[in-house]
Amino acid sequence: MMDGGFVTIPEDAMYNLSSQWIIENHGVDPDITLDDEPGDVLAGHDKQLETAVSLLLQQVGNQPGGLPKTPPLLPAYPPDGQVPPPAR
């Protein structure tokens, strides 16, 4: 295309266990349906984005903070270079 873009054709399609197409020619339904109002858009608000950020902040707020535990140290490599087989 003139702008450097390109067009591709679909190569795969999703279907369910009943052999019915589940996304083809439909798309994915949103978890929450919101309508953007023209007045909100003109005022610089994006209701969909603001709702998504609010929900994610609520989910993050419910999780404990902090860093994960430090993993255990690896054992020293044997001086002779031979790693023994694992114990049974």
pTM over 0.95: no
- Nearest-angstrom CA–CA distance, 15 and 22: 5
20 close to 14: Cβ distance less than 8 angstroms: no
Q: Which amino acid makes up residue 59?
A: Q
Q: How far apart are CA 86 and CA 79, in angstroms?
A: 17
Q: Which residue has the tokens 């023994």?
A: 84
Half-sphere exposure of 55 (CA within 13 A, CB side): 8
What pLDDT score was predicted for residue 50?
Answer: 93
User: How far apart are alpha carbons 32 and 51 in whole angstroms?
Assistant: 9
pLDDT of residue 24: 67
Tens digit of each residue's pLDDT, the chain (88 residues):
888 888 888 777 778 888 887 776 667 788 888 888 889 888 999 999 999 999 999 988 888 778 888 988 887 778 887 877 888 7
pLDDT at 43: 92
